[in-house]
A and B are shown apart, each in its own frame.
Chain A
Amino acid sequence: MSTHTSGWQKAGAWAAILFGATYFILPLVATFEFSLRMRRGEYSFDAYRSVFTDAQFQESFSYSILMAVLTIVIGMLLIVPTAYWVRLRLPQFRPVMEFVTLLPLVIPAIVIVFGYLRLYNSSSLIPFTGSARGTDILLMFSFMTLSLPYMYRSVDTAMRTIDVATLTEAAQSLGAPWRTILFRCIFPNVMSGVLSGAFITFAIVIGEFTMPSLLNRPAFGPYLQLIGANRAYEPPALAIIAFAITWLSVGLLQLLSRFNKARPPKP
């Protein structure tokens, strides 16, 4: 009787997995299939060729990659020391930090960007939007705001796995100044968290539409929207490219965190 029930349960579980997989995979397969139909009567990568040869694609994609790298570097330089200090000296502020870093998840991006435009417009005290470079800087900070919940959490979780206070004291007793402690004793040990945060940030920046669109910067998100509104076969090709980039990021994340765990001894 129990074998019979367990057999049904197994079949039910497989049916659920199959349904879920179909739900996710079928649209993807359909999109990919459609992206190959640019040439009449046969499958081809013409849509992809068209996308890759489009100067606007190259420009917007490299712009977004540069923005992502800057967001990750400056974000980490800000977040790692903050998370470290909160853990070391201000543990009572952890709930406050958790709340603050969660705000970008509950406040829509459009509200944040309107706030920025109001605060940093060309006639304000800090006129970020007065020049293209200034707007780029503002955009980078807005990306940092959007990725804050993921960046902070991943770094903070990595810090939980090491005894930050004792490692700091050990380094201090050996004569190390704060900079050495942070960059040689703490940072390398939270690298898995830094990498997780970095890849999630990368994915967010590449796909973000609202911020660059309203700040009028040539990022990949607005380009995706523009192509989607005017072309037939390129949008699905771009969707597949964006999907591939995201999965590449996740894959790299997995690979690096596994590499980090199983670090072999030096020869």
Chain B
Amino acid sequence: MSFLELSAIKKSFGPVQVVHDFNMAIDKGEFISFLGPSGCGKTTILRMIAGFETPTDGTIVINGRDQTALKPNQRNIGMVFQAYALFPNMTVFENVAFGLKVAGKPRAEIEARVKEMLALIHLEHLAERYPYQMSGGQQQRVALARALAPKPQVLLLDEPLSALDAKIRVSLREEIRLIQRQLGITTVFVTHDQEEALSISDRIVVMNAGRADQIGTPSEIYNRPATRFVASFVGTLNLIEAQVEDPDARRIRMGEQSLAIQDPLSGLKGGERVSVALRPEAATLSPTDRSDAAIPGEVVSSHFLGSVVRTKLKVGESTISFDMFNDPGRTPPAPGEQVTLHFASRDLLVIRD
């Protein structure tokens, strides 16, 4: 039996339904990310788990106990907010101790636990500081320690890294994952940043318009997107129009070429138009051992992105991007240059809406 179960969850604000029939089972100790654009319903689901919103329909069960009707302060759920939400009138020590004091723990136990939590986030030396005397990254680590101090059954992270600068964001997300693994706490993380979700999650839920478009491991989500939305939201994607040639033999036709692909073409008929996707990193300018397909095109632009150079090609009516590792000894293709793009036909993904 799963540790956290969301069954047939629906949520409406007035006439607007923001979550449609959402189901999910999360195992103990799992790190789940809800990924999606603004307004897709991911934060609403998180807030329903926390008890700040009541589902219009459905149940939330944690560790076998129905939480749906419980108030937020009865759920024992730790939450970290985007805006830190540290109490400005309390020191770091008092902030971390707050949940324990509310629970009526003895003084000695509170002190020991707060020290343990501050050691976990490496901020023991800032125990007497006030929130306004610390950086955003430090404040968010304190918020994490505060949420973890009362030993919650589930940890909820509501875009905790969005307000931080890029470097701190990367280091803090690694720290969060490390602490989560160390404590083995079931965690639900909400983000709109695909890189964040891909880098730290056990599983990702890609949300679109109040529904889960796909639930899977980061690798499944990236390499085998279930819908056009997932494919376009996670990573950069080239969409190429093609035609089904032989659905049983999994053959499609792209321009003059007939290609065998790995994705099944079930439900499609011969001659039917289909969109196929190709990740920028799956194409190269020179053939490799894997490549079995090639398309000619004209270079539109080349952008230096540090470790890679992203080049755009005009192929028929479509524009395709592909990435090359940065090589200081090689000049990127110039706009107007005619090149041939090589790729493996098995890297083509059939996109269904």
Query: B-contacting residues of A (Cβ < 8 Å)?
Result: 162-163, 166-167, 169-177, 180, 184-185, 188-189, 263, 265-267
B52 in the interface, Cβ–Cβ < 8 Å? yes
- Interface size band for B: 20 to 34
- The interface residues of chain B lying within 8 Å CB-to-CB of A163 are 83, 85
Tell whether A170 pairs with B85 under 8 Å between CB atoms, given A175-B150, A176-B102, A265-B128.
yes
* Distance (whole angstroms) from the CB of A41 to the closest CB of chain B: 58
Total number of A-B contacts with CB less than 8 angstroms? 75
- The interface residues of chain A lying within 8 Å CB-to-CB of B146 are 170, 174
Contact B130 A173 (CB under 8 A): no
Contact B50 A171 (CB under 8 A): no
Most A Cβ at <10 Å: residue of B74, B76, B89, B156: B89
Contact A173 B147 (CB under 8 A): yes
- The interface residues of chain B lying within 8 Å CB-to-CB of A171 are 87, 98
Choose one: A172, A184, A266; the contact of B72 (CB below 8 Å).
A172
* Distance (whole angstroms) from the CB of A84 to the closest CB of chain B: 15
A-B residue pairs, 5 tightest by C-beta: A174-B99, A170-B85, A188-B89, A172-B72, A173-B79
Distance of A73 Cα from B99 Cα, bound (Å): 29
- The interface residues of chain A lying within 8 Å CB-to-CB of B128 are 265-267
* Distance (whole angstroms) from the CB of B330 to the closest CB of chain A: 50
- The interface residues of chain B lying within 8 Å CB-to-CB of A174 are 73, 78, 98-99, 102, 146-147, 150
Please name the residue on chain B nearest to A172 by beta carbon: B72
* Distance (whole angstroms) from the CB of A187 to the closest CB of chain B: 9
Tell whether A175 pairs with B103 under 8 Å between CB atoms, given A163-B85, A265-B129.
yes
Please name the residue on chain B nearest to A264 by beta carbon: B130
B77 in the interface, Cβ–Cβ < 8 Å? yes
B91 in the interface, Cβ–Cβ < 8 Å? yes
B88 in the interface, Cβ–Cβ < 8 Å? yes
User: Can you identify 6 A-B contacts, CB atoms within 8 angstroms?
Assistant: A162-B88, A163-B83, A169-B79, A173-B77, A173-B78, A174-B102
Distance of A265 Cα from B133 Cα, bound (Å): 9
Distance of A189 Cα from B102 Cα, bound (Å): 19
B22 in the interface, Cβ–Cβ < 8 Å? no
Please name the residue on chain A nearest to B74 by beta carbon: A175
- The interface residues of chain B lying within 8 Å CB-to-CB of A184 are 87
- The interface residues of chain B lying within 8 Å CB-to-CB of A266 are 91, 128
Please name the residue on chain B nearest to A263 by beta carbon: B130
Q: 15 extra interchain contacts, Cβ-Cβ under 8 A, other than A175-B99, A177-B102, A265-B129?
A: A167-B85, A169-B52, A169-B79, A169-B81, A169-B85, A170-B143, A171-B98, A173-B75, A173-B78, A173-B156, A174-B147, A176-B73, A189-B88, A265-B130, A266-B128
For B78-114 the 0/1 string (1 means CB < 8 A from A) is: 1101010111110100000011001100000000000
- The interface residues of chain A lying within 8 Å CB-to-CB of B86 are 170
Distance of A263 Cα from B131 Cα, bound (Å): 12
Contact B102 A175 (CB under 8 A): yes
- The interface residues of chain A lying within 8 Å CB-to-CB of B98 are 171, 174, 176
- The interface residues of chain B lying within 8 Å CB-to-CB of A189 are 87-89
Contact A175 B88 (CB under 8 A): no
- The interface residues of chain B lying within 8 Å CB-to-CB of A176 are 73, 98-99, 102
Distance of A70 Cα from B143 Cα, bound (Å): 38
- The interface residues of chain B lying within 8 Å CB-to-CB of A167 are 85, 87
Contact B73 A170 (CB under 8 A): no
* Distance (whole angstroms) from the CB of A167 to the closest CB of chain B: 6
Distance of A175 Cα from B129 Cα, bound (Å): 24
- The interface residues of chain A lying within 8 Å CB-to-CB of B74 are 175
Distance of A174 Cα from B76 Cα, bound (Å): 7
Distance of A177 Cα from B71 Cα, bound (Å): 10
- The interface residues of chain A lying within 8 Å CB-to-CB of B73 are 172-177
Distance of A234 Cα from B145 Cα, bound (Å): 64
* Distance (whole angstroms) from the CB of B279 to the closest CB of chain A: 38
Contact A173 B91 (CB under 8 A): no
Please name the residue on chain A nearest to B91 by beta carbon: A266
Choose one: B77, B78, B83, B147; the contact of A166 (CB below 8 Å).
B83
Contact A173 B87 (CB under 8 A): no
- The interface residues of chain B lying within 8 Å CB-to-CB of A166 are 81, 83, 85
- The interface residues of chain B lying within 8 Å CB-to-CB of A180 are 102
* Distance (whole angstroms) from the CB of A12 to the closest CB of chain B: 42
Tell whether A175 pairs with B76 under 8 Å between CB atoms, given A169-B50, A266-B91.
yes
- The interface residues of chain B lying within 8 Å CB-to-CB of A175 are 73-74, 76, 99, 102-103, 150
- The interface residues of chain B lying within 8 Å CB-to-CB of A162 are 88
Please name the residue on chain B nearest to A161 by beta carbon: B88
Contact A169 B130 (CB under 8 A): no
- The interface residues of chain A lying within 8 Å CB-to-CB of B71 are 172
- The interface residues of chain A lying within 8 Å CB-to-CB of B52 are 169, 172
